[in-house]
Amino acid sequence: MTEPVVLAAAGAALVLDVAGPGLPRVVHWGADPGPLDDDSLRALVVAAGGGVPSAVGGPTQPVGSMPLLPAQWDGYAGRPGVSGDRGGRWPYLRFALEGPVRVDGGDLIAEAVDETAGVRVRAELHLDRHGVLRVRHTLTNVGADAWTVAALRTLLPIPEQATEVLDFTGRWGLERVPQRRPLGHGTHARESRRGRTGHDATPLLIVGDTGWREVWGVHIGWSGGHEEYAERISGTTAVLGGGELLEPGEVRLEPGASYTTPTGWFAWSGDGLDGLSDRFHRAIRDRPRHPRTPRPLTLNVWEAVYFDHDLGRLTKLADLAARVGVERFVLDDGWFPARRDDTAGLGDWTVDPAVWPDGLHPLVDHVRGHGMRFGLWFEPEMVNPDSRLARDHPDWILASPGRLPRPHRHQHVLDVARPEVADHLFARIDALVTEYRLDYIKWDHNRDLLEAARDGAAGVHRQTVAVYALLDRIRDRHPDLEIESCASGGGRVDLGILARTDRVWTSDSNDALDRQQIQRWTTLLLPPELIGSHVGPSPAHTTGRSAGLAFRTATALFGHAGIEWDISTCTEEELDLLRDWATLYKRLRPVLHGGRPVHGDVSGVVTDDAAVFVHAQLDNPTELRPRRVRLPGLSPDRRYRVTRCWGEDADLPDVTLTGRALATVGIQLPRLRPEQAIVLEVLPA
């Protein structure tokens, strides 16, 4: 096939020149140009500059297109799509197509080889029905000796109109903090060498035009070292993309061996950030293992009891949890031997007989007697030096001999890539899941992987692959088990770990004010049903800030809701309010977990039949008069009735208007004080 190829869906398109001799060249990524015959496609390639050579200050190259793996042979002056060497030789690759490019619906596969360098590559692209493009490459060593991979990236071109970049930073307890700036010449890169995604990792790296109406975004679905970047260099096509961030010598391919990139998730939107997140949410919800059942209201006991495990206290919490409508009860850290604080016991995955002489059965049976599911906390990848496991198997720690990494939280990392370590962890987790018929695991990961090496060789790549394999093995053995990805809060939030888990713990902070921002920007990539969102105590344990219960419950409503609070300290009025909130959450789940998040004057979730919006006052308003807000995303010609369903007691006018009127004129809401909120339900009139 030599005619240009168009992959198109849901108003988005990728146009590729597949004439060779190298890998396909991307002519356009963005809005669908519409139906084109072969002559028009060829004209489009020429019109876009794909057939126009340039030799000003450099080699002749088509200036309006970019190969899937750009290299110096293409006249490309940026970071190469692939780099590596064979013992210091053949660092520059020149790929030639092997056979025709194969296209089947939204799938494109191209294979190419550099015979001299002894490297073959397979490029795989899939454009789904929602316009999200998934890209991955596989590099195979076809030479006679080892080839070391330095980088293999998934990249797509971005146009001149992309003049600004948006990404996110953060820290423990305050993840997903946005930062926006101009995109000039040079490289805007976000890199993580933490061995996990990172609290400061950007869920999406996004570029946009000056009005942020047209945007392009990328997410690298990988839980180890990774990079996302946008790059614009004079004379070179600008790009957006990234890949696994490999340490020196980390991937060394013997003859015949292969390396496959993490999946690069790319999407374009002509409808701003809401349109971009809508594409990602639809694609994520289409995954075969995406949760299909209603997301159970969860109570986690961590901020209620910490390490102080007492059967009487926990059964009382279970009684109160059932009273307010909790559907899943999770026992957090502290159930295994010597675990009275975080300095000892980690890695010894047996129930502590001193605290639990009859095992966990009395608590599990009590919880299930209320009709609730039962979950348990683990941190399988870590170990305390003060533990039986570390004393019996010091060689299982991920470290080179005589060079332990600096400890953090009194713990080190287990070398899960050792088969004996993975087998041990699987056996212990499997035994506990089986004995207690666990419904749920909270899988924690409380430290970065610094100096993660074995015998002097970097080990983050194989550690990440091994953790994925362990999770897959557990899920295969227990297909109904749900797993939460927690990493001291939101430190491992990515589509690599979420291919094997059912939700993420968004942040260790349950401060509702911070959570408003954290959840809003996490939802940019993930649909709300994957985002753990709990009502915490006041004052918040992480910040010491106080907030009313109406504001805290309204905030927790917009995610996979739960409670993380010693509710035995609640007044009867607070317990009644929690019960009413739990009832509302269950009623609104189909909208909250199946709709399209929208943002404007207020934020909300919209379906074809209903919508839920939250008006949250985050600071002290300068205006004395009440605020008028517009409600975006509704069907323009349909009539809706707007009612207050939760939040502060306040009068709201009885309003029935069309979606167009609500989106353009809006409605006046009561004036709120800082850290107050009103939740609005919008139903067809």
* DSSP notation for 447-507: S--TT-EETTEE-HHHHHHHHHHHHHHHHHH-TT-EEEE-BTTBSS-STTGGGS-SEEE--
The total number of structural domains that make up the chain: 3
| Same domain for 319 and 256 | no
The pair phi, psi for residue 411, each rounded to 5°, is: -145, 155
Query: DSSP characters for 589-652?
Result: HHHHTTSEEEESSSEEEE-SS-EEEEEEE-S--S-SSPPEE---SS-TTSEEEEEEEEES----
| Same domain for 677 and 565 | no
Any residues with CB less than 8 A from the CB of 677 and at least 6 apart, and which?
550, 551, 554, 555, 614, 615, 616, 617, 647, 648
User: What stretches of 239-387 show up as alpha helix (H) in DSSP?
Assistant: 272-285, 302-305, 311-324, 361-369
Query: DSSP characters for 417-430?
Result: TSHHHHHHHHHHHH
- Would you say residue 665 lies in a domain? yes
DSSP classification of residue 561: E
Residue 577's H or E segment, with its range, is: helix 572-592
- Would you say residue 25 lies in a domain? no
CA separation for the pair 30, 385 (Å, rounded)? 52
CA separation for the pair 221, 244 (Å, rounded)? 9
Query: DSSP characters for 352-389?
Result: -TTT-TTTTHHHHHHHHHTT-EEEEEE-TTEE-SSSHH
| Same domain for 571 and 538 | yes
- For residue 566, give the CATH number of its domain: 3.20.20.70
Q: Measuring CA to CA, which residue among 228, 231, 206 is closest to residue 217?
A: 206
Contact 467, 456 (CB under 8 A): no
> What does the block give as tokens for 215?
């945007």
| Same domain for 611 and 579 | no
Contact 123, 24 (CB under 8 A): yes
| Same domain for 656 and 581 | no
The pair phi, psi for residue 95, each rounded to 5°, is: -85, 140
DSSP classification of residue 28: E
CA separation for the pair 207, 268 (Å, rounded)? 10
CA separation for the pair 364, 330 (Å, rounded)? 10
- Would you say residue 32 lies in a domain? no
| Same domain for 325 and 307 | yes
| Same domain for 511 and 429 | yes
- Would you say residue 20 lies in a domain? no
| Same domain for 334 and 263 | no
- For residue 611, give the CATH number of its domain: 2.60.40.1180
- For residue 226, give the CATH number of its domain: 2.70.98.60
- Would you say residue 291 lies in a domain? no
| Same domain for 478 and 355 | yes
| Same domain for 511 and 622 | no
Catalytic residues: 444, 508
- Whole-number Cα distances in Å, 289 to 75, 293, 464, 480: 43, 11, 20, 11
Strands 440-443 and 373-378: parallel
- Whole-number Cα distances in Å, 309 to 315, 336, 356, 363: 11, 10, 9, 11
| Same domain for 611 and 583 | no
Residue 242's H or E segment, with its range, is: strand 239-244
Any residues with CB less than 8 A from the CB of 101 and at least 6 apart, and which?
1, 5, 18, 24, 108, 109, 110
Query: DSSP characters for 216-241?
Result: EEEEEE-SSSEEEEEEE-TTS--EEE
Strands 482-485 and 457-458: unpaired
Q: Measuring CA to CA, which residue among 141, 9, 137 is closest to residue 84?
A: 141
pTM, rounded to two decimals? 0.96
Residue 154's H or E segment, with its range, is: strand 154-157
Any residues with CB less than 8 A from the CB of 485 and at least 6 apart, and which?
443, 445, 492, 493, 497, 498, 501, 503, 504, 505
DSSP classification of residue 394: G
pLDDT, residue 625, reads 81
What domain range is 615 assigned to? 598-684
> Mean pLDDT, consecutive 10-residue segments, the chain of 685 residues?
89 95 95 91 82 52 79 90 95 95 96 97 98 98 97 97 97 97 96 96 97 97 98 90 97 98 98 98 97 97 97 98 98 97 98 98 98 98 98 96 91 98 98 98 96 94 98 98 97 98 98 97 98 98 96 98 98 98 98 96 96 94 85 97 93 90 94 94 96
Contact 631, 647 (CB under 8 A): no
| Same domain for 380 and 501 | yes
Contact 130, 101 (CB under 8 A): no
CA separation for the pair 663, 659 (Å, rounded)? 6
- Type of residue numbered 483: I
In angstroms, how far apart are the furthest CA atoms of the chain? 79
Length of the chain: 685
- Would you say residue 65 lies in a domain? no
pLDDT, residue 621, reads 84
* 234 burial type by CB count under 10 A (0-12 exposed, 13-18 middle, 19+ buried): exposed
Contact 186, 200 (CB under 8 A): no
